[in-house]
Structure 1
Amino acid sequence: MQPPAEPYAWPRSHILSGNPVQTATYIYTSPDNLFAAGIWTCEVGKFRIDFGRAEFIQILEGVVIVTDAEGTAKTYRAGDAFVTPKGFSGTWDVIEPIKKHFTWYGSGE
């Protein structure tokens, strides 16, 4: 049985538009908290993000435009997979409500 989704919100200072309410369901977290896998959802909206960990992402539903600090934008849709490197800084603009499978590695610092 899958654990329940835990809702959370970005600090208002990170939200650029919309109301990107999110949930995370952790399917697995390693005992040392350096590796995790789960499902993340987000409603329509745009927010700034800084990835403190390397993360593999597979989009299960929805559409998002990811823009890095240099202004390079990429659009991802259901079925797309990509890796966000540790240290990524930029924005996520959720165009259609999104659901992703994630696995991350690192301390988050």
Structure 2
Amino acid sequence: MVETTKASAPHIHNATTFSDLVDWGDQPDSLEGQSHSSGRLVFKGPNNQPESGIWVCTPGRWRLSIPRDEFCHFVAGRAVYRSDEGEVIEVEPGTVVMFPGGWTGECTVIETMRNIYMLV
């Protein structure tokens, strides 16, 4: 199957195992370990809205702030998100999370995770 992000309906077949990823570098705002990110952009609209793609991240812990609403479907790995208000969200394959814009806290990746996301 051909993967194309240039089609009238951008798509990637087998997104859960797709391996032609781009190196996105070390995760910023590291608190522990050195998480490294890679991924593949599927679509980015005008003014970068919406943006959708695949994100893979290796173990580590860092601070994060979600700039806009972000829908995440975790398809591999394990991680724990902790909001600044104390909420704990444990993710594993099959977990879906809708982070509202402005959500702040930290993420600890326990086992390399893969996330199919849409940032709006």
Q: TM-score, normalised by structure 2?
A: 0.80
Deviation at 1:20, TM superposition (A): 0.5
Q: Which runs of 5+ in 2 are unaligned?
A: 6-20
Stretches of structure 1 that go unaligned for 5 or more consecutive residues are none
| CA–CA distance in structure 1, aligned partners of residues 54 and 118 of structure 2 | 9
- Name the counterpart of 1:71: 86
The separation in 1 between residues aligned to 2:112 and 2:4, in whole angstroms, is 21
CA RMSD of aligned residues (A): 1.4
Deviation of 1:10 after TM superposition, in Å, equals 2.9
Q: Provide the rounded CA distance (Å) in 2 between the counterparts of 1:70 and 1:89.
A: 9
Between Structure 1 and Structure 2, the one with more strand by share is: 1
Moved more, 83-92 or 29-38: 29-38
1:14-66 Cα distance to aligned partner (Å, 9 max, x none) = 11111110013110111332101100010000000011110000001000100
Identity of aligned residues (%): 23
**Paired residues, what number?**
103
TM-score of the superposition, structure 1-length normalised?
A: 0.87
Q: Distance in 1 between matches of 2:62 and 2:72?
A: 17
